[in-house]
Amino acid sequence: MRVVDVSSVDAAGAVDWDGLRAAAREAVDKAYAPYSGFPVGAAAFADDGRLLVGANVENAAYGVTLCAECSLVSALVMSGGGRFTAFTCVNALGETIMPCGRCRQILWEHGGPELLVDTPQGVVPMTEVLPQAFGPGDLDHVREASR
């Protein structure tokens, strides 16, 4: 298996979106999607430049299917943690797709408002993908107020 070798930013400091998309397209081949026939590959850069990938893992009990973003976030945590800085996910045709609603929440937790998300309409910050998100700050706010 070929592993895409990318560095997260080019000499000018711009995100290597082509490299990230290539990694997501490779990850599609790892998907386990016998029920939907809809493999998904996801890829992200972490704030230290690490490249993480994930693919969906389905289950005979359909509802417990893991989206590609689930294995992606596990890869982030298990390889040392940190924050996502740039994210993309693709279908079997290699086309960019939007993360589902649940996965937007997962991305918010580990990337926050500044995470850059590749969409069919271009790269946008996470605030456009999940406006008025619920996040860790909401928990802190009540915790602090109850002290």
Q: Out of 103, 117, 129, 130, name the contact with ligand THU by CB under 6 A.
A: 103
The two tokens of residue 117 are 């998300």
Does an H or E element contain 49, and which? none
Single out the residue of 27, 28, 67, 129 in contact with ligand THU (rule: CB under 6 A). Answer: 67
Work out whether 38 is an interface residue with ligand THU (CB under 6 A). Answer: yes
For ligand THU, which is the closer residue by CB, 8 or 71? 71
Considering only 14-22, 35-43, 126-134, 139-147, which stretch makes contact with ligand THU by CB under 6 A? 35-43
CA distance 111 to 127: 11
Pairing of strands 41-46, 51-55: antiparallel
Told to check if 99 binds ligand THU by CB under 6 A, we report yes
HSE, side-chain direction, 13 A CA sphere, residue 99: 31
In whole angstroms, the minimum distance from the beta carbon of 47 to ligand THU comes to 22
Q: How far is the CB of 65 from ligand THU (least distance, A)?
A: 5
Do residues 86 and 116 touch, judged by C-beta distance below 8 A? Answer: yes
Clarify whether 69 is annotated catalytic: yes
Residues that contact ligand THU, how many (by CB under 6 A): 14
Match 């509802």 to its residue by tokens.
63
Q: Which residue is catalytic, options 69, 95, 114, 144? A: 69
The vertex-42 CA angle with 37 and 43, nearest 5°, equals 160
Could you give the CA distance from residue 127 to residue 104 in angstroms, rounded to a whole number?
10
What is the contact surface with ligand THU in residues (CB under 6 A)?
A: 33, 36, 38, 40, 56, 58, 65, 67-69, 89, 99-100, 103
Question: Catalytic site residues?
Answer: 69
